Amino acid sequence: MDINIVKLKKYASKCSVLYVEDDEIIRTQTASFLGRFFTDVVLAEDGVIGLAKYKERKFDVVITDINMPNMNGIEMIEAIKEILYTQIILVTSAHNDSEYLMKLINLDVSRFVLKPFNNKQFLYVLYKIAEELTFENERKELQEEVVSLSKNAQIIVDEIKIGIITIKDNEVNMANRAFLDIGGFDSYDTLKLEMPEIGVLFEEASHCVNATSNKDLIEQLEQLGDDEKKVRIIKDTKTYEYQVTSTKLEEENSYILTFSDITAIHNALYNDEHTKLPIRKFVLEKIELLKQGVSELGVIIVRAKNFENIAKWYGKAEATAVEVEFSTIVKAVKNEQLPNAFIGYFAENQIVIISDKYDMSETYKILKGIDISTETLFTKHDRTDLRFHLSTQAEFLKLDTSKELNALEVDLINAFDFMQ
């Protein structure tokens, strides 16, 4: 029973003791002995007083005799256990009665010292109790510090505008505010409930990551080059694109993924500078995606009749303004009639609307009736010398999806040429 007195004093200095003993001489002597190590010792001469003092404040350790007037030690222990069942209690008694022992064991009391005290044995029991309490307090403090650091880290991560998630054993176990906003989730719990496999969040698109499970997502990111580590999301009919980076953490099967918004770059590369509609490359990419699993695609092609004369008569700037106005009107009709259909800029004065599952007849009818006149642009350009009237040419096509993409491109080119 080796005891490190220095450690005992260090441990005991942070512990509070309630000592209950009816014998005044033993109480005084033991209190003096306890005072050599514990700086916070409260005395009580029977169970009633001891219980009253216990109710006034918390104690790390309760040391009590058994046989006492008014309320004996076992009765007091029963009352204390009702208040705090985990309370550490050390029983001191001159009796070694099995009946007492069974009652105490049933109360989950396992620390006993017989009187008269063997100081070394008593000291060893106190040392183990103080050590246990110190270690437990240190564990709690460390746990609170970790929780605090974790909360602070989450606050810091939430301030980062780049979407961040961590995946461990193929499950998302952290997501910052920016990523929750990307997916439209109000909280991490909602993400876990509604979309535990985050790959489902992203649209199928060529040159982008397409994965239905977190495992597949990680595997694809590890195999793809940086230029291909992209995902697309459609929110409120708008397309957003994000560059993804993946980093393997030291912890086994753990990864951190970041999502940087490159929508502006994507739009600059894929959208027409003036009409802001997806250019031909993106139109063909969309056709390639939509033709999977269907035998034909419905397409409306639209152009403004005699548009080429605008540039001749009024110059390129006015022709561009007319094209923007025309595309805005066509886009408004599409959004009203077919909000989920795709619209793109195939070439100058050539707009396509594509759908794989919607009736396009009403949209086609409305588009054929569009007119753009001089008055339409008066208020926008502060010009009164514009004199023209443009009508719309529109055709409804069925694209055979069994054809290769380059063949479908030729079909669209021919269809627009035939309109002229």
| pLDDT at 110 exceeding the cut of 80 | no
Q: Could you give the CA distance from residue 131 to residue 137 in angstroms, rounded to a whole number?
A: 10
Q: What is the pLDDT of residue 420?
A: 66
Q: Could you give the CA distance from residue 104 to residue 116 in angstroms, rounded to a whole number?
A: 20
pLDDT higher at 108 or 242: 242
Q: What is the pLDDT of residue 380?
A: 54
CATH architecture designation of domain 275-419: 2-Layer Sandwich (3.30)
pLDDT higher at 173 or 153: 173
Q: List residues bridging with 174 in a β-sheet.
A: 166
Per-residue pLDDT band at 44 (split at 50, 70, 90) = very high
Q: Where are the beta strands (DSSP E) in 110-237?
A: 111-114, 163-168, 171-175, 230-235
Q: What is the pLDDT of residue 146?
A: 59
| pLDDT at 354 exceeding the cut of 70 | yes
Least confident residue range of 107-121, 284-298, 345-359: 107-121
Per-residue pLDDT band at 141 (split at 50, 70, 90) = confident
Cis peptide before 116 (omega within 30 of 0): yes
Q: Classify the C-alpha dihedral 311-316-317-323 as positive or negative.
A: positive
- Cα dihedral 94→100→102→105 (10° resolution): -70
Q: Could you give the CA distance from residue 400 to residue 393 in angstroms, rounded to a whole number?
A: 22
Three-state DSSP at 373 gives strand
pTM value is 0.46
10 Å Cβ neighbour count for 346?
A: 23
pLDDT higher at 376 or 262: 262
Q: Across 206-210, 233-237, 402-406, which has the greatest mean pLDDT?
A: 402-406
- The 10s digit of each residue's pLDDT in 67-94 is 899 999 999 999 999 999 889 999 888 7
Per-residue pLDDT band at 359 (split at 50, 70, 90) = confident
Tokens encoding 111? 């620390």
First-residue to last-residue Cα distance in the chain: 104
- The 10s digit of each residue's pLDDT in 277-304 is 988 988 888 888 788 778 889 999 999 8
> Distance from CA of residue 349 to its chain's centroid?
44
Tokens encoding 203? 């649209």
Share of the chain above pLDDT 70, in %: 89
Q: What is the pLDDT of residue 77?
A: 92
Roughly what angle, to the nearest 10 degrees, separates helices 98-106 and 73-83?
A: 10
User: Which one is the CATH code of 5-138: 1.10.10.10, 3.40.50.261, 3.30.1120.10, 3.40.50.2300?
Assistant: 3.40.50.2300
Q: Do 343 and 369 contact (CB within 8 A), yes or no? A: no
Tokens encoding 122? 């008593």
Q: Where are the beta strands (DSSP E) in 82-237?
A: 88-93, 111-114, 163-168, 171-175, 230-235
Whether domain 160-267 has CATH 3.40.50.300: the reply is no
pLDDT averaged over every residue in the chain: 84
Three-state DSSP at 315 gives coil
Q: Where are the beta strands (DSSP E) in 16-76?
A: 16-20, 40-44, 61-64
Domain ranges of the chain: 5-138, 160-267, 275-419
User: Which residues make Cβ contacts (< 8 Å) with residue 14, sequence separation at least 6?
Assistant: 133, 134, 137
Report helix, strand and coil shares of the chain as percent, to nearest 5: 50, 25, 30
